Every structure is written in C-alpha cells, then in structure tokens.
Amino acid sequence: KTDNNLVSTSKFLSLVLRHRPEVVGLQLDDEGWLDINQLIANANERGKDLTLESLHDVIASDDKKRFALSDDGLRIRASQGHSVTGIDLKLDETTPPERLYHGTVEKFLSSIRATGLQKRSRNHVHLSADEATATKVGSRRGKPIILRVDAAAMHQTGHRFYLSDNGVWLVDAVPTDYLTFP
C-alpha cells in the first residue's frame, strides 16, 4: 500500500466516523462505534475500495492515531473530532496540565477575543498539550497563531476536561478570561 492510499482511506474514515456515516448508509452507535464488517460491506456496495487489511493498516499507521478498535476488535470509531451529534465517547474526566494550547489563525482572533473559543461545527473545542502540536493544528488554515489556555484555573472553576485516546484535550468552551493572546 502506498502512503497515498493510506491517507485517502484515513480521510474517508474521518468523513464516515466523525461527520457523515450516512454516506455508507449507517449510523454510529451511542458511543461512536461502527461494526467493521458492516462498514466494509456498505462501503464496497457503494464502490469504495475498503478491505479489512487496509482498515487495519490505517489504524496502525495513521499519523495522529485518529481511529481506535473496540476491545473485541469488531468495531471502529474516531477517537475525537466528531461533528455527528448525540454521541458520547464516554471519556473519563481528566485533570489537565497547568497550560494547554490552541492553534488558530489571525482572521478568527477578533471573534475569539469577543466570545472565547467555541466548538463551532464539532462536538468539542480541541486543545493541544504542547505548542508544537498547536502550531500544526493552526497551520492547516494559514500562518498559525498560538493561544495559551490557563487550564488549571479553568479546571479549578469547574470546567470539565477530557483526554481523547489519541491525546487531544477536549472541552466545551474556553471563556476569554482563560486565554492569553500573543
């Protein structure tokens, strides 16, 4: 398998498992899982080349470990990044490190200063544990701007933090008071 195939399969899985399971005629269960054999069968029916092997390749090699298998190996889900509503990943609430980071771009700053970080189309605001990761996240949209989040203070005042299986910090929102702008 070439990297191109893996990337394209990873993008397809992100689409199905985070945003639009209906493209393969399926619904995620309450915790975001899909049955692997059903996913493959339905994808194949719709002309999408997907095999058990390519699926396992992507799970193992994906650069951000975006997908996880259930313990019994029969189901797959995205570890974070969902916009599908009504699912609960059942992540444990976790005490965050003192500081977290968010990578964004200039054009969003005035809005972020006004309303804080909001989840927009996704189910959570995504925060990074280190500036290098936040820089990569911001770079997807242009010249990255890194905001620092006072996670300790947020946590102390009762905001809940969740850590996805692939190391992304998830919160409902970050009020401006807890943000430091560059």
The residues binding ligand HQG (CB under 6 A) are 64, 66, 81, 104, 108, 111-112, 115, 117-118, 120-122, 126, 137, 141, 168
Q: How far is the CB of 65 from ligand HQG (least distance, A)?
A: 10
Other CB atoms closer than 10 Å to residue 7's CB: what's the count?
Answer: 14
For ligand HQG, the closer of residues 121 and 156 by Cβ is: 121
The answer to whether residues 57 and 1 touch, using CB atoms and an 8 Å cutoff, is: yes
Residue 9 burial (CB count, 10 A): 23
Between 54 and 164, CB nearer to ligand HQG: 164
Nearer to ligand HQG, 41 or 172 (CB): 172
Q: How far is the CB of 43 from ligand HQG (least distance, A)?
A: 20
Q: Is 43 exposed, middle or buried (0-12, 13-18, 19+ CB in 10 A)?
A: buried
Please state the closest distance from residue 125 (CB atom) to ligand HQG, in A.
7
* CB contact at 8 A, 74 and 100: no
Q: How do 34-35 and 75-78 pair as beta strands? A: antiparallel
Comparison of 108 and 172: residue with beta carbon closer to ligand HQG: 108
CA distances from 181 to 87, 93, 145, 149 (A): 32, 27, 9, 9
**Residue closer to ligand HQG (CB basis): 120 or 143:** 120
Distance CA(151)–CA(148), nearest Å, equals 9
> What residues form DSSP beta bridges with 127?
169
- Minimum distance from CB of 36 to ligand HQG (Å)? 20
| Residue 41 Cβ vs ligand HQG, minimum distance, rounded to whole Å | 25
**Residues facing 146 on adjacent strands:** 103
